[in-house]
């Protein structure tokens, strides 16, 4: 990347898990940065954060924070994005928004680089980063969509608590210890911190992520359904999702049933997956090899295995998809988008 | 149950979790027992076990153990059942076998009382108790099958480690503590104790229960597929299963997609489930009420919630089914069968 244009980059929400991963990836990937601005709430302003051997002082994120900024990452919640993204856009920045604020906005491209990177050119200042569970699903299914067409997806998720933030991680770990010590458990965060009823997550499975809608689905499930159609650019795609929180810290797993539009050869399917960008095929039943959250944690790729022909529908197959929800599911997908922006300029 | 016939009952495999639950249920349900014989391997013979205030000495299970026995419960593994059940049958006992040894035998009824209790009359000395994951699925779906017909079931499971035995429970608990204490983890039991490769279960999700078959499905998945068809008495039923072990001690959860043969009213579906024997409808999104493994543990019923119309297929619906895998999934279903046998004599 020598002689390359350098960018003024802002990261909003640097105290959150995703913000921290974005900073780490910008450093590790050697992103061509001229000036890096780290933005957070007033409470965190003044904190110093190390970046490539230098200390950067965190500043309060305000509408005026974006003067001269080329690329701004947002992962401080939907409300902050709705408040500040318009100002960043007005200042001339391209905003990569990790919240759900603009994902379904028809003017805003919703991008997973392995699926629809060309959409970044249609941006009007905002590129939305999809929901974590959606990203690993569409990244894996894209080569099958292109080769055979997909008519229907039925997915059940096994989601890590880190998707609900640092306090949810703390809750799982301390609650697990309490259960092991046979102490009374007092849930305080999960399933949804802003809702009144809390449930134990340690040694349990909670079939609720985000709030319920009138149709009986949760917001998280509707995100998977609607975002998958938007990213694939196919409103005829039938998608059903059940989203479940399980006692895992990092790494979302997904049990996926897929109906293709054409007959397929299962070896060709595996070969397409093995050769797809960003996808690692881990599939050898004889060696008990399949993706595991414990092994996907900390990695950038999406892992797929248990790929097998359905026994009752000859055009269907089943698989198990795992990825680190904070990396490909959030920070890495956002930094990938930034890398493509940088390459094009 | 006064003036009722009393039965000579044998329980084979009384050191296992299921055997212990069978003994507890026989006591709590006041099963009409004349003589109770507790049988185990030679190693455990001589142990004394309390039953209704009396001490019973455990005897070694041998082909001669079943003289005069009316009802024999087997839960000591498939090999023991294959070895001893024929002798028990020859002695005139009705055997309720909790292993997979006879489940798919065409001569042996495979019984879930809420679904096909009439089949017990066809027994030739053996009645098979289905796989835990299958029981809660068919018990819940039976009222919908009767009312609308079912063409297709796609199920992903979230299974507790107690299904893999006491050593798997110990492994989850001690491994969880090791992870919390940041110690190295050394998996020794799961996913399948007799296979060479072991995986961490603490804070993880393992998409393997039992061994793999050549078609890429596991034995556990094939049990769900084949047993569901046999119990429902419908070989045209299309079933797909993905079975996953998660860090839960007691209680299997299932994410289930069901295609009905007829249009349905969602309130009628809920009403059918609420009124079905052995089923408890826990379904109120506004109050964040849905089944949880932590609450189903120790209970005899099967719990169902998250019941909602599918958004892409008007004849399909989705639901979340939870039950204690050692109780309705094993010991309670077996004792229920025995209660029906007792009632008929």
Which residues of A are marked as active site? 132, 252
Q: Token pair of B193, please?
A: 């104790």
Distance between CA B134 and CA B219 in Å, rounded?
A: 13
Mean pLDDT of A94-117: 98
- Residue-range domains of chain B with CATH: 7-129+330-343 (3.40.50.720), 134-325 (3.30.360.10)
CB–CB contact A215 B311 (8 Å): yes
Distance between CA B64 and CA B275 in Å, rounded?
A: 45
CB–CB contact A320 B207 (8 Å): yes
Mean pLDDT of B226-238: 98
φ, ψ for residue A104, nearest 5 deg: -95, 5
Mean pLDDT of B140-163: 98
Of the candidates A318, A292, A298, which has an alpha carbon nearest to the alpha carbon of residue A307? A318
Of the candidates B260, B213, B222, B214, which has an alpha carbon nearest to the alpha carbon of residue B241? B222
Q: What is the pLDDT of residue A223?
A: 98
Residue showing tokens 């995100």 = A223
Residues linked to residue A335 through DSSP beta bridges, in sequence order? none
Strand B252-260 relative to strand B316-323: parallel, antiparallel, unpaired?
antiparallel
Q: What is the pLDDT of residue A189?
A: 98
Distance between CA B68 and CA B10 in Å, rounded?
A: 10
Length of chain A: 345
CB–CB contact A255 B238 (8 Å): no
| Res. A221: pLDDT tops 50 | yes
A298 and chain B: CB distance < 8 Å anywhere? Answer: no
Q: Enumerate residues 304 to 333 of chain B having a beta carbon within 8 A of any beta carbon in chain A.
A: 305-313, 316, 318, 320
Where residue B2 falls among pLDDT bands split at 50, 70, 90?
Answer: low
CB pairs under 8 A between A and B: 169
Contacts of B103-107 with CB under 8 Å at 24 or more apart are B103/B128, B103/B130, B103/B131, B103/B223, B103/B227, B103/B230, B104/B226, B104/B227, B104/B230
Q: Enumerate residues 263 to 292 of chain B having a beta carbon within 8 A of any beta carbon in chain A.
A: 285-292
CB A276 within 8 A of CB A140: yes
Q: What is the pLDDT of residue A11?
A: 98
A209 and chain B: CB distance < 8 Å anywhere? Answer: no
Q: What is the pLDDT of residue A1?
A: 45
| Res. B1: pLDDT tops 50 | no
State which residue of chain B sits closest to A319, comparing Cα positions: B242
The answer to whether B176 is a known ligand-binding residue is: no
Residues linked to residue B152 through DSSP beta bridges, in sequence order? B238, B259
Q: What is the pLDDT of residue A2?
A: 53
CB–CB contact A292 B240 (8 Å): no
User: ipTM higher than 0.85?
Assistant: yes
Q: Enumerate residues 22 to 81 of chain B having a beta carbon within 8 A of any beta carbon in chain A.
A: none
Q: Which residues of chain A have a CB within 8 Å of the CB of B158?
A: 158, 205, 244, 246
Is B252 a catalytic site residue?
yes
Q: Dump pLDDT digits (tens) for B100-114.
A: 999 999 999 999 999
CB proximity list for B25: less than 8 A, separation 6 or greater = B31, B327, B331, B332, B335
Q: Enumerate residues 185 to 204 of chain A having a beta carbon within 8 A of any beta carbon in chain B.
A: 191-192, 195-197, 199-200, 203-204
Where residue B3 falls among pLDDT bands split at 50, 70, 90?
Answer: low
φ, ψ for residue A80, nearest 5 deg: -65, -40
B228 and chain A: CB distance < 8 Å anywhere? Answer: no
Q: Dump pLDDT digits (tens) for A237-274.
A: 999 999 999 999 999 999 999 999 999 999 999 999 99
Q: What percent of chain A has pLDDT over 90?
A: 98
Q: What is the pLDDT of residue A274?
A: 98
Q: Is B14 helix (H, G, I), strand (E, B) or coil?
A: coil
Q: Token pair of A16, please?
A: 């959150």
CB B252 within 8 A of CB B157: yes
Which residue from B206, B215, B247 is facing A247, i.e. has the nearest CB?
A: B247
Mean pLDDT of B250-279: 98
Element (H, E) at A219: helix A219-232
A145 and chain B: CB distance < 8 Å anywhere? Answer: no
CB–CB contact B158 A320 (8 Å): no
Is B199 a catalytic site residue?
no
- List, in sequence order, the alpha helices (H) in chain B: 17-28, 78-90, 113-116, 132-148, 166-180, 219-232, 266-274, 293-296, 332-343
Interface probe for A, chosen from B288, B303, B323 (most Cβ of A below 10 Å), is: B288
A187 C-beta neighbours (distance < 10 Å), count: 17
């Amino acid at each position: 990347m020598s002689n390359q244009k350098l960018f003024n980059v802002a990261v909003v929400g640097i105290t959150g898990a995703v913000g921290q991963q974005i900073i780490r990836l910008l450093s590790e990937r050697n992103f061509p940065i001229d000036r890096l601005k780290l933005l957070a709430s007033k409470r965190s302003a003044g904190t110093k954060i190390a970046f490539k051997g230098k200390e950067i002082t965190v500043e309060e994120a305000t509408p005026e924070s974006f003067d001269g900024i080329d690329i701004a990452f947002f992962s401080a919640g939907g409300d902050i994005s709705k408040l500040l993204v318009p100002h960043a856009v007005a200042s001339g920045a391209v905003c990569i928004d990790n919240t759900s604020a603009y994902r379904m906005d028809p003017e805003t491209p919703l991008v997973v680089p392995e699926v629809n990177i060309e959409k970044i050119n249609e941006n009007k200042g905002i590129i939305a980063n999809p929901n974590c569970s959606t990203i690993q699903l569409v990244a894996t299914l894209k080569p099958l969509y292109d080769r055979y067409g997909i008519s229907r997806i039925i997915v059940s998720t096994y989601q890590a608590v880190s998707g609900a933030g640092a306090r949810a991680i703390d809750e799982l770990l301390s609650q697990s210890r309490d259960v092991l010590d046979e102490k009374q458990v007092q849930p305080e965060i999960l399933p949804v911190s802003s809702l009144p009823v809390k449930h134990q997550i340690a040694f349990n499975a909670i079939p609720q992520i985000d709030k319920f809608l009138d149709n009986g689905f949760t917001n998280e499930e509707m995100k998977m359904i609607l975002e998958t159609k938007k990213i694939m650019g196919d409103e005829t795609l039938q998608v059903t999702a059940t989203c479940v929180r399980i006692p895992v810290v990092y790494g979302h797993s997904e049990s996926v049933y897929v109906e293709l539009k054409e007959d397929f050869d299962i070896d060709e399917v595996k070969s397409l997956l093995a050769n797809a960008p960003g996808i690692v095929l881990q599939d050898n039943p004889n060696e008990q090899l399949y993706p595991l959250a414990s092994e996907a944690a900390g990695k950038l790729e999406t892992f797929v295995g248990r790929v097998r022909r359905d026994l009752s529908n000859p055009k269907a197959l089943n698989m198990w998809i795992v990825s680190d929800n904070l990396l490909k599911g959030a920070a890495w997908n956002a930094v990938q988008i930034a890398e493509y922006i940088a390459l094009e300029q």
